[in-house]
């Protein structure tokens, strides 16, 4: 019984750390058991979220705002997929300094009227599929998340 009482604070701390990794105001909810955590920077007009692996590398990122600087080119169309319940068209991106990296990006029109520009990068096809799966498991809130966890109209 004493062992359970002594372990309880550690279990609660671990549970809250897991919740913090999956839920960050301004960013969508990460898939459970993804091993990812959010790095977030936000302003009154936008949110910049990077999903980081345990080693600190970026699994994918997104920029959420009223408008996106990304303008998809039809000639760069690649896979179709799903992200957070939204049907998406992925577009090939090129990284000039790393031409061997497979990079994709897409736009998602959110229910609150904002646009999410989502991008991912992978060293090979297998990792690209894993990135698609992780991004597919995102869950977007119904309204704009503001500091303090509430929703804005």
130-140, pLDDT tens digit by residue?
Answer: 999 999 999 99
Instruction: Return the percentage of the chain with pLDDT > 90, whole number.
Output: 65
Q: What are phi and psi of 14, to 5 degrees?
A: -65, -40
83-131, pLDDT tens digit by residue?
Answer: 999 999 999 998 889 889 999 999 999 999 999 999 999 988 899 999 9
pLDDT the model gives residue 149: 36
pLDDT the model gives residue 118: 98
Q: Where are the domains of the chain?
A: 2-152
27-37, pLDDT tens digit by residue?
Answer: 999 998 899 99
pLDDT the model gives residue 24: 80
- pLDDT over threshold 80, residue 1: no
Residue from 18, 48, 49, 47 nearest 35 by CA: 18
| Coil vs helix vs strand at 18 | helix
CA 64 to chain centroid, in Å, comes to 10
**Which CATH architecture describes the domain 2-152?**
Sandwich (2.60)
Residue in this structure with the two tokens 């991106």, named with its chain if needed: 93
Instruction: Return the percentage of the chain with pLDDT > 70, whole number.
Output: 77
């Amino acid at each position: 019984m004493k062992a359970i009482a002594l372990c309880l604070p550690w279990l609660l701390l671990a549970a809250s750390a897991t919740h913090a990794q999956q839920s960050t105001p301004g960013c969508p909810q990460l898939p459970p058991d993804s091993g990812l955590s959010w790095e977030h920077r936000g302003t009154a007009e936008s949110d910049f979220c990077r999903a980081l692996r345990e080693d600190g590398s970026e699994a994918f990122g997104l920029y959420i705002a009223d408008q996106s600087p990304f303008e998809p080119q039809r000639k760069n169309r690649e896979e179709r997929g799903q992200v957070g319940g939204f049907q998406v068209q992925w577009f090939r991106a090129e990284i000039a300094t790393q031409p061997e990296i497979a990079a994709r990006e897409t736009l998602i029109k959110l229910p609150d009227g904002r646009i999410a520009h989502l991008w991912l990068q992978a060293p090979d096809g297998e990792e690209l599929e894993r990135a698609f799966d992780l991004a597919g498991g995102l869950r977007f809130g119904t309204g704009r998340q503001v500091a303090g966890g509430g929703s804005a109209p």
